[in-house]
Amino acid sequence: MTKDLPTALNLPMVDPLPEATQKYFDICQDKLGMVPNVLKAYAFDIAKLDAFTAMYNELMLADSRLSKLEREMIAVVVSSINRCYYCLTAHGAAVRQLSGDPELGEMLVMNWRVADLSHRHRSMLSFAEKMTKSSSEIAEYDREALRDAGFSDRDIWDIANVVGFFNMTNRVASATDMRPNDAYHAQAR
Protein backbone atom coordinates (compact mmCIF):
# COMPACT_ATOMS: atom_id res chain seq x y z
CA MET A 1 0.00 0.00 0.00
CA THR A 2 1.24 3.49 -0.80
CA LYS A 3 0.11 6.91 0.35
CA ASP A 4 -1.58 7.30 -3.05
CA LEU A 5 -3.72 4.19 -2.64
CA PRO A 6 -6.13 3.79 0.30
CA THR A 7 -6.08 -0.02 0.13
CA ALA A 8 -3.60 -2.81 -0.54
CA LEU A 9 -5.07 -3.21 -4.03
CA ASN A 10 -3.65 -1.46 -7.06
CA LEU A 11 -6.88 0.29 -8.03
CA PRO A 12 -6.10 3.98 -8.61
CA MET A 13 -8.91 6.52 -8.80
CA VAL A 14 -10.29 7.47 -12.19
CA ASP A 15 -8.28 10.42 -13.45
CA PRO A 16 -9.67 12.86 -14.06
CA LEU A 17 -12.70 12.33 -11.88
CA PRO A 18 -16.06 13.07 -13.50
CA GLU A 19 -17.30 16.57 -12.70
CA ALA A 20 -20.04 15.39 -10.31
CA THR A 21 -17.59 13.16 -8.41
CA GLN A 22 -15.01 15.94 -8.16
CA LYS A 23 -17.72 18.26 -6.82
CA TYR A 24 -18.67 15.64 -4.18
CA PHE A 25 -15.02 15.23 -3.19
CA ASP A 26 -14.66 19.03 -2.97
CA ILE A 27 -17.67 19.17 -0.63
CA CYS A 28 -16.08 16.46 1.54
CA GLN A 29 -12.83 18.41 1.63
CA ASP A 30 -14.66 21.61 2.64
CA LYS A 31 -16.90 19.98 5.28
CA LEU A 32 -14.55 17.33 6.69
CA GLY A 33 -11.14 18.75 5.87
CA MET A 34 -10.39 15.58 3.87
CA VAL A 35 -11.80 13.14 1.36
CA PRO A 36 -12.40 9.93 3.33
CA ASN A 37 -10.22 7.10 2.08
CA VAL A 38 -13.26 4.85 1.65
CA LEU A 39 -14.45 7.21 -1.10
CA LYS A 40 -11.03 7.22 -2.72
CA ALA A 41 -11.00 3.41 -2.54
CA TYR A 42 -14.27 3.16 -4.50
CA ALA A 43 -13.27 5.88 -7.00
CA PHE A 44 -11.60 3.41 -9.37
CA ASP A 45 -15.16 2.62 -10.56
CA ILE A 46 -17.54 5.57 -10.45
CA ALA A 47 -20.68 3.40 -10.67
CA LYS A 48 -19.55 1.49 -7.55
CA LEU A 49 -18.65 4.75 -5.79
CA ASP A 50 -22.07 6.19 -6.62
CA ALA A 51 -23.85 3.07 -5.34
CA PHE A 52 -21.81 3.08 -2.12
CA THR A 53 -22.34 6.79 -1.43
CA ALA A 54 -26.06 6.61 -2.23
CA MET A 55 -26.56 3.79 0.27
CA TYR A 56 -24.30 5.39 2.91
CA ASN A 57 -25.99 8.79 2.59
CA GLU A 58 -29.47 7.25 2.77
CA LEU A 59 -28.70 5.12 5.83
CA MET A 60 -26.46 7.47 7.79
CA LEU A 61 -27.50 11.00 6.83
CA ALA A 62 -31.11 10.94 5.61
CA ASP A 63 -34.14 11.56 7.81
CA SER A 64 -34.72 8.85 10.37
CA ARG A 65 -36.08 8.65 13.89
CA LEU A 66 -32.64 7.27 14.73
CA SER A 67 -30.31 10.14 15.49
CA LYS A 68 -27.04 10.47 13.63
CA LEU A 69 -25.30 9.60 16.90
CA GLU A 70 -27.36 6.41 17.28
CA ARG A 71 -26.46 5.35 13.74
CA GLU A 72 -22.78 6.04 14.42
CA MET A 73 -23.00 4.09 17.68
CA ILE A 74 -24.30 1.11 15.71
CA ALA A 75 -21.46 1.52 13.19
CA VAL A 76 -18.87 1.44 15.98
CA VAL A 77 -20.33 -1.56 17.82
CA VAL A 78 -20.63 -3.60 14.61
CA SER A 79 -17.11 -2.57 13.58
CA SER A 80 -15.78 -3.48 17.01
CA ILE A 81 -17.21 -6.99 16.76
CA ASN A 82 -15.75 -7.32 13.25
CA ARG A 83 -12.45 -5.66 14.28
CA CYS A 84 -12.56 -3.31 11.31
CA TYR A 85 -9.71 -0.86 11.78
CA TYR A 86 -10.98 1.61 9.17
CA CYS A 87 -14.53 1.87 10.49
CA LEU A 88 -13.55 1.83 14.16
CA THR A 89 -11.25 4.78 13.54
CA ALA A 90 -13.58 6.79 11.30
CA HIS A 91 -16.85 6.12 13.11
CA GLY A 92 -15.26 6.20 16.56
CA ALA A 93 -14.25 9.77 15.69
CA ALA A 94 -17.84 10.49 14.63
CA VAL A 95 -19.22 9.18 17.96
CA ARG A 96 -16.74 11.32 19.89
CA GLN A 97 -17.66 14.36 17.84
CA LEU A 98 -21.46 13.91 17.85
CA SER A 99 -21.66 12.96 21.53
CA GLY A 100 -19.10 15.47 22.76
CA ASP A 101 -17.84 12.59 24.91
CA PRO A 102 -14.46 11.11 23.93
CA GLU A 103 -14.83 8.47 26.64
CA LEU A 104 -18.08 7.19 25.11
CA GLY A 105 -16.37 6.78 21.76
CA GLU A 106 -13.59 4.75 23.35
CA MET A 107 -15.98 2.60 25.39
CA LEU A 108 -18.01 1.71 22.31
CA VAL A 109 -14.83 0.78 20.47
CA MET A 110 -13.52 -1.43 23.27
CA ASN A 111 -16.62 -2.83 25.00
CA TRP A 112 -19.96 -1.10 24.62
CA ARG A 113 -21.33 -2.81 27.73
CA VAL A 114 -19.14 -0.68 30.04
CA ALA A 115 -20.70 2.56 28.75
CA ASP A 116 -23.38 4.35 30.75
CA LEU A 117 -26.18 3.93 28.21
CA SER A 118 -29.93 4.35 28.30
CA HIS A 119 -32.21 1.32 28.08
CA ARG A 120 -33.00 2.42 24.52
CA HIS A 121 -29.36 2.40 23.48
CA ARG A 122 -28.57 -0.87 25.27
CA SER A 123 -31.47 -2.54 23.45
CA MET A 124 -30.37 -1.12 20.10
CA LEU A 125 -26.74 -2.17 20.52
CA SER A 126 -27.66 -5.60 21.85
CA PHE A 127 -29.74 -6.16 18.71
CA ALA A 128 -26.84 -4.90 16.55
CA GLU A 129 -24.48 -7.31 18.26
CA LYS A 130 -26.81 -10.29 17.84
CA MET A 131 -27.48 -9.45 14.21
CA THR A 132 -23.72 -9.21 13.57
CA LYS A 133 -22.81 -12.43 15.37
CA SER A 134 -25.82 -14.61 14.58
CA SER A 135 -28.44 -12.93 12.39
CA SER A 136 -30.23 -16.21 11.70
CA GLU A 137 -31.11 -16.39 15.39
CA ILE A 138 -33.02 -13.09 15.43
CA ALA A 139 -36.56 -13.86 16.56
CA GLU A 140 -39.73 -11.92 17.33
CA TYR A 141 -38.69 -11.44 20.97
CA ASP A 142 -35.61 -9.54 19.74
CA ARG A 143 -37.79 -7.14 17.75
CA GLU A 144 -40.20 -6.93 20.68
CA ALA A 145 -37.34 -5.89 22.97
CA LEU A 146 -36.68 -2.99 20.60
CA ARG A 147 -40.36 -2.04 20.57
CA ASP A 148 -40.37 -2.14 24.38
CA ALA A 149 -37.41 0.28 24.32
CA GLY A 150 -39.45 2.73 22.24
CA PHE A 151 -38.44 1.82 18.69
CA SER A 152 -41.09 1.65 15.96
CA ASP A 153 -41.10 -1.00 13.28
CA ARG A 154 -39.62 1.60 10.89
CA ASP A 155 -36.85 2.24 13.42
CA ILE A 156 -36.16 -1.49 13.58
CA TRP A 157 -35.89 -1.51 9.78
CA ASP A 158 -33.38 1.35 9.97
CA ILE A 159 -31.36 -0.36 12.72
CA ALA A 160 -31.21 -3.60 10.73
CA ASN A 161 -30.10 -1.78 7.60
CA VAL A 162 -27.34 0.16 9.35
CA VAL A 163 -26.12 -3.06 10.97
CA GLY A 164 -26.21 -4.88 7.64
CA PHE A 165 -24.41 -2.07 5.81
CA PHE A 166 -21.55 -1.98 8.29
CA ASN A 167 -21.19 -5.74 8.29
CA MET A 168 -20.68 -5.49 4.51
CA THR A 169 -18.34 -2.49 4.59
CA ASN A 170 -16.29 -3.94 7.47
CA ARG A 171 -15.61 -7.04 5.45
CA VAL A 172 -14.62 -5.10 2.33
CA ALA A 173 -12.38 -2.74 4.34
CA SER A 174 -10.67 -5.59 6.16
CA ALA A 175 -10.23 -7.72 3.03
CA THR A 176 -8.59 -4.85 1.13
CA ASP A 177 -6.55 -3.47 4.07
CA MET A 178 -8.33 -0.13 3.77
CA ARG A 179 -6.68 2.45 5.99
CA PRO A 180 -8.36 5.42 7.66
CA ASN A 181 -7.25 8.96 6.98
CA ASP A 182 -4.67 10.10 9.54
CA ALA A 183 -6.93 13.02 10.52
CA TYR A 184 -9.50 10.70 12.13
CA HIS A 185 -7.10 9.66 14.90
CA ALA A 186 -7.00 13.08 16.53
CA GLN A 187 -10.60 14.20 16.00
CA ALA A 188 -12.76 15.11 19.03
CA ARG A 189 -10.34 13.90 21.65
For 120-151, the DSSP string reads HHHHHHHHHHHHHHHGGG--HHHHHHHHHTT-
What rounded mean pLDDT belongs to the chain? 94
**Mean pLDDT along residues 141-146:** 98
- Spatial contact of 174 and 82, defined as CB atoms under 8 Å apart: yes
Give the whole-angstrom CA distance, residue 22 versus residue 84: 27
The CATH code belonging to domain 19-61 is 1.20.5.810
pLDDT score recorded for residue 3: 64
Give the whole-angstrom CA distance, residue 128 versus residue 123: 9
The CATH code belonging to domain 68-185 is 1.20.1290.10
Locate the domains of the chain by residue range: 19-61, 68-185
**Mean pLDDT along residues 89-102:** 93
51-82 per-position pLDDT tens digit: 999 999 999 999 999 999 999 999 999 999 99
Residue 183's pLDDT band (cuts 50, 70, 90): confident
**Mean pLDDT along residues 10-19:** 97
User: Would you mind telling me the total number of residues written for the chain in this entry?
Assistant: 189
Residue 185 pLDDT more than 80?
no
